[in-house]
Amino acid sequence: MKAILWIPATGAQPMAQVMDRPLIQHVVEQLVERGVEHISLLLNERDTAVRELLGDGRRWGVEIEQRMLWSAPAQADFAAVCAARDGEMMLLGNAARVAHLPNVAGETSSWNTLYFDEENGIGGWSGWALLHGDALPAFAAHAATGMDWRKSMQESALAAKKVFLEFPSLSGMTPQDVLTANRIAMEGRFPGLFFHGRELRPDVRVARGARIPASAVLQGPCYVGEDAWIGEECRLGPHTVVGPGCVVEQKTCVARSVVAAGTFLGPELDVQDSYVHFNRIQNVRLDTDIEVEEAHVLSALEPQMGSGLLPTAREFLRSLVARASG
């Protein structure tokens, strides 16, 4: 089975932090679990981080074909990747949304649009669809922009079958979506989601190499990623994710927020209801989006020379000690 992933032109964050890894990595892992062997990824040249993370897909045992575009996916772009044998199954999905896809083996319907379970109050399109190869040309012909797949589906097959999924999808379309996705993951409401860590308590999970002093207070649900460093007297939680390689300085409080991998938070900060990525903080309650210029308050950890990779928290602290002693 094949899959086509697309990245919307604006707003979406496929690299948004969901527990210990970017959302788009969860997408790929879900597809692999469903038996997908080939993924065509439509992405813009600006999506450098996505390109580097996924590569050719070899690490997941899947073939990933990256198709570089100058703008949002358009009719010709879909037509180029929608060539498939009659009857071949194809999944089409938004790379900034991961859905708990159903078992599609033996499915015969030409069109299946996948929705949330509206009976449980979580109605809405999941961003995903399932179709056979004989329906692909009609879809490609109507996919003028790739931004509204439902309209293309309606024009291609009016009798498209709605399938309601049992679980909501995880989204990186907005900062609020990112916080909600992590909350769902922390509460175990998205089955089959894989992430590292051991449970200190049923609602608190800590990954390998994380440094958490005895004076720190973790209120669940809470997740601390690999090699993260938490300062003395910090307070984390509830509903808080600190990504891999982060440094949270002493007496800083983080609640109902997500701190993306490789982010430095200075001392005595109070972060609430926010998605924090390097020096950018997006507060969903206040509807603010701020870039902080003071590196001692909020910043990205410096890349290692020549590697392009973020250092671990331990390496960051060693560098601070070396500078102070020098």
The pTM of the full predicted model, rounded to 2 decimals, is 0.84
CA angle 224, 230, 233 (to 5 degrees): 120
Cα radius of gyration rounded to whole Å, the chain: 21
What whole-number distance in Å separates Cα of residue 237 and Cα of residue 217? 8
Q: Is pLDDT of 229 > 90? A: yes
C-alpha to C-alpha distance for 126 and 117, rounded to whole angstroms: 10
Q: What is the pLDDT of residue 322?
A: 52
Res 161: pLDDT: 73
Q: How much is the pLDDT for 5?
A: 87
Looking at domain 2-171, does it have CATH number 3.30.465.10?
A: no
DSSP letter for each residue of 195-239: ---EEEETTEEE-TT-B--TT-EE-SSEEE-TT-EE-TT-EE-SS
In this structure, what DSSP letter does residue 128 have?
Answer: E
Q: Domain coordinates of the chain in residue numbers?
A: 2-171, 200-325
Note the CATH number of domain 200-325. Answer: 2.160.10
Q: Taking all residues of the chain, what is their mean pLDDT, rounded to a whole number?
A: 80
35 Rama sector, left if φ>0, alpha if ψ -120 to 50, beta otherwise: left
Dihedral sign from CA coordinates of 224, 227, 228, 230: positive
What is the pLDDT at residue 286? 94
pLDDT at 68 over 80: no
- Per residue in 143-168, pLDDT (tens digit) is 544 445 556 666 665 556 777 887 88
